[in-house]
Amino acid sequence: MPLEEVERRLREAYDRDFHFEEGRVLGSMCSKPEDIAVKYHALFSEANLGNRGLYPGTAELEEEIIGDISELMHLKGGWGQFVGGGTEGNITAMWIARNLSEKKKILAPESAHFSMKKATDLLAMELVDIPLDNEYRMDVDALEREMDGDVAAVMAVAGSTELGQVDPIKEISEVAGDVFLHVDAAFGGMVLPFLEDLGRWSGDWDFRVNGVDSLSVDLHKMGMSTVPSGILLLKERGYVDSISVESPYLTTKRNIGLAGTRPSGAVAGAYAVVKSMGRKGYRDVVKRCMENTEYLVGKMQDIGFEPVIKPIMNVVAFKTDRAEKIRKEMDKMGWKISTVRRPKAIRMVVMPYVTRKVIDEFTEALDGLGYA
C-alpha cells in the first residue's frame, strides 16, 4: 500500500475507536495514560526484558519501579516483575501456588475477576467459589468451611472489578494459615494507599498482612501509565524457582514468567509517570476521583438510583432490574457503561478523565430514559 493510504487507513481506524478524553467511556478500568508515559513508552519500544542482558538500562528502570511499588505495598525484600496486566499476574500467582504446593484447589470469592477461571483451566486446577457477605466481601466463615488438605491457594480481592469492594484480607489470612495467599489489587493497588493517606479508608490489605504471599497491581489502570503495565510482587524471591525455565539462547540463563519476549516500553512509561507524579500526584488524582464519585452518587440519587454499596473507591454500581436495557439504550447514545449481574446493577468507573460536566450530561441522558 502507498504510505499515504496506510496512514489514512490507520487514522480512520483510530477515529472509529472511543477515546477516554471524549469522556463518554464510564465503564473502563484503564485510563488515559499521562503524556510523559506515552512519550517514553515509544522511545523504549524495542526493549525486551525477556532478553534482559541486552537492556541493562531498562532492567534498572524496572528494578527501581518494582522497588517503589513494593514500598507502597509494604513489601520488604521479595521479588517483582512487570507483567501484561492483572490477568497475567493472577495466572502466574496461581501457577506458583500450584507448583509450590502440588495441590489443586483455589478458593476465591464469587467477586473474583474472570482471570481466575482462565488460571484454573490452564493449570488444570479446581476453582471453588466462596460466597460473599451482605457487603459483597468474601464470607470468611464460608471460606473456613471449604479449607481442607487439597487447597493450593486462597485469593482475595482488594478493589473488586464490579463494586470496588475490598475483602477482609487479615481475617482471610488467619483462616488460610500456611496456604499460599494471593491478593488481586489490580485496580485497588493504586487507589488504597492514597485513600489511606487521605484518611478516607483504613484496613490491612497488602504485605502488612503477614500471610500475603503475592499481590498483583496494575499501572495501566489507576497508575495512569500505558498498556500493558501490570506488576506481580512476591513475598519471597525463592518462589520464582518453581516457575523458571532454562533459556539457553538468551542473555540470561533462566526465564521467569509466562511471557518470553516482554513488551518493555511500558516499563519506561511507568517509570516516567510514577516518578513524575510521585505520591502526592497520585493522592491528588485519587482525591479528585473520589470527589467526583460522590458527586455522581448524589446526581444518581437525585434521579432515583441508589448505590449497591457506599463506594470505597471510584467504582460504583447502582441497583436496577433494567440494567441491561439501560446499558443498551445508553450505548445507542454513545455512553459506555457496564452492568453487574448480582445484584442487578449498572456500573460506572470514575476514572481521572471523568469530569463533573460529563457526569451532568450522563445523568441527564439517563434521567431522560425514565427507568429510575
Ligand X SMILES: Cc1ncc(COP(=O)(O)O)c(C=O)c1O
ω into residue 109 within 30 of 0, thus cis?
A: no
Q: Is 157 in the site for ligand X (CB under 6 A)?
A: yes
Q: Whole-angstrom Cα distance, residue 320 to residue 318?
A: 6
CA distances in angstroms from 95 to 101, 147, 368, listed in the order given: 10, 19, 49
All three cell numbers of 103, joined, read 495441590
Q: Is 85 in the site for ligand X (CB under 6 A)?
A: yes
Of 98 and 113, CB closest to ligand X: 113
Of 55 and 136, CB closest to ligand X: 136
Which of residues 91, 100, 183, 186 is near ligand X by CB under 6 A? Answer: 186
> Can you say how many angstroms the Cα of residue 69 is from the centroid of all Cα atoms in its chain?
14
Question: Contact 191/316 with Cβ under 8 angstroms?
Answer: no
Q: List residues bridging with 127 in a β-sheet.
A: 106
The least distance separating ligand X from the CB of residue 186, rounded to whole angstroms, comes to 3
Tell the burial category of 213 from Cβ atoms under 10 Å away from its Cβ (0-12, 13-18, 19+): buried
Q: Which among 138, 164, 113, 135 has a CA at the least distance from the CA of 286?
A: 164
Q: Which of 73-81, 182-190, 199-207, 268-276 is the region at the interface with ligand X (rule: CB under 6 A)? A: 182-190
- Contact mark string toward ligand X, 20..39, x via CB under 6 A: ---------x----------
Of 52 and 113, CB closest to ligand X: 113
Q: Is 292 in the site for ligand X (CB under 6 A)?
A: no
Q: Is 113 in the site for ligand X (CB under 6 A)?
A: yes
Residue with cell 483455589: 106
The least distance separating ligand X from the CB of residue 304, rounded to whole angstroms, comes to 28
Of 47 and 116, CB closest to ligand X: 116
Of 303 and 309, CB closest to ligand X: 309
Q: Which residues make up the interface to ligand X (CB under 6 A)?
A: 29, 85-87, 90, 113, 115, 157, 159, 161, 184, 186-187, 218, 230
